Chain A
């Protein structure tokens, strides 16, 4: 079914769905009046604009069929995003150096299949050197984990 829909039409449908979601989310905010708009006015206005443009694209959009888009790198993309997400989850608990060492090691060893020792060395040097540069020299506050690491 999706193979027959053009890329822009699918994008248009997604935009309309997004606009409806924004419109629904504004229901709890005071709307005000046209002359004295309230906090809901601007978000609703952008939702109307987004929905209108989405509808336009859904009806008139062209481009190649959605099925023709090459999503070949998508699994790798998902792995990268999941690794970043895991790093974000552990960031404040385990500290910058530990988490960044883990992030780099996973990306280099698991995702990129680099040799173990050089990859670990790169991960260790990068995580510690960047912490030294930003946290120690430039005084940027970065989280420290257990044992001050």
Chain B
């Protein structure tokens, strides 16, 4: 414990340095805007800002990107509550009761509870991250290629399992992502795969063009005929104070959703989205008056908003401790670290203590900044939504091209982004989840290398995955999830809000 506190002190000395602090605030501001703007989302926002971090130190870069991530969680609640427009998917559940509260003239308390819940969920989850990441990293040092192969396979299956809709469709998308990840040079033999004379494909397909195309561009293509957003309301500062009854009703949901969100955050998948749905379903189930949900129940705001922020922090645990991204957003952040020459994984804490603990401490600072920003500046932020969508989306497309080109310095990446935008549009029309493609793309080199190294270790004997307890256990869990999915009744998924 003394070590942890000493490390945290080191972290705060880094996080409170003027440069890091400045970029934490910028990240939170940008994240809030990203969360508010429909069609951008944290993943596209982080991808777009990635090239702008190249000139920064690794610590400053990761603090900026993390600020965008949890800033988006805060920002998404504002438009959901005031305008019934979820800036990003994790805020969908907040629309239900948040907007109902707005219609009753209670937008202020809804915003305040959302901000408090986000702050508490985020802050407590950072404490959990701080305590959990070091022992997890120590455990991960015992992992060899078979264990990593099993862990990564389990990650993909859990993502497919928890995705809304058909697991077969999600797994197919993961397979598509895995294939995309094999394009370029084969690290073990030096062979070029599916390069077709295009030199830029030698290093493989980048995460940034794929993520921006699948999430940012395809969203704009889908919204091509969208109607003008409704007129926003702007509550005054004095109207933000929640009643004693609001606070009493929110305590339980905030506490439960912190734990729930953090645990879901660790599990691979689109944790921040899933956690808000599960939290809403849980609160409605536990409520003695479930009929109030959907009609302005403050618990319906407190739960999902706390859970998505807690999950956003929880998602950093496997990324920092194991070097394994638990979803597309940590995957892009992992790529950002790699661009800066940092190898995330169990040794990160030992080799880069100021980066790791500076990052952890910056999350405390970021949550405070967001609390201070969100309530007084709600009116200011909402003004941005007055910009007509007809002007907004061309600007987003321009920044998409800029971000993608800047990240790879190659126009091929812009073509990949356009192709992925078109593919994402068609796939979403056919009701496919596109997130598994990004995760598959990120995990493909790791999975393939782990598989081939495992087979080299065992002289080609596949039993190596069954004779090593951790690998066998992880694959066993994956198998159980597959079997459960094949069972006829999956009503529990619908009850938890995971099903479409």
Contact = CB atoms under 8 A, between A and B. Distances in A.
A92 B430 contact: no
A50 B177 CA distance: 10
A8 B169 contact: yes
B459 to A, nearest CB: 7
A122 B225 contact: no
Contacts of A138: 52, 55
Nearest to B225: A73
B371 to A, nearest CB: 28
B401 to A, nearest CB: 6
Interface string B410-423: 01001100100110
Nearest to A34: B460
B35 interface: no
Interface in B43-66: 51-52, 54-55
A35 B460 contact: yes
A127 B193 contact: no
Contact of B189 (A30, A96, A142): A30
A42 B414 contact: no
B290 interface: no
A17 interface: no
Contacts of A53: 168-169, 171-172, 175
A38 B448 CA distance: 11
B406 A107 contact: no
Contacts of B194: 25, 43
B406 A140 contact: yes
Interface stretch (B10-18, B275-283, B392-400): B392-400
A126 B390 CA distance: 14
Contact of A38 (B54, B172, B189, B444): B189
Interface residues of A, dominant DSSP: helix
B181 to A, nearest CB: 9
A103 B402 contact: no
A116 interface: no
Contacts of B448: 42
Contact of B401 (A47, A54, A88): A88
A69 B432 CA distance: 14
Nearest to B174: A49
A116 B127 CA distance: 54
A130 B175 contact: no
A9 B244 CA distance: 54
Interface residues of A, number: 63
A7 B222 CA distance: 17
A138 B431 CA distance: 39
Interface string B166-202: 1011011001101100100010110101100000000
B338 to A, nearest CB: 18
Contact of A10 (B409, B430, B444): B430
Nearest to B461: A35
Interface string B307-333: 000000000000000000000000000
Given A63-B431, A71-B429, A35 B169 contact: no
B222 to A, nearest CB: 7
Contacts of A139: 55
Contacts of A127: 398
Interface string A125-141: 01100100010001111
Given A50-B175, A91-B401, A104-B398, 18 more contacts: A11-B169, A18-B176, A35-B455, A35-B461, A38-B191, A41-B452, A43-B182, A46-B179, A49-B175, A57-B168, A81-B421, A88-B414, A103-B397, A108-B391, A130-B398, A134-B406, A138-B55, A142-B406
24 contacts: A8-B166, A33-B460, A34-B462, A35-B459, A35-B461, A42-B444, A43-B194, A53-B168, A53-B171, A53-B172, A77-B222, A77-B224, A84-B217, A84-B418, A85-B418, A88-B415, A96-B402, A96-B405, A130-B399, A134-B52, A138-B52, A139-B55, A140-B51, A142-B406
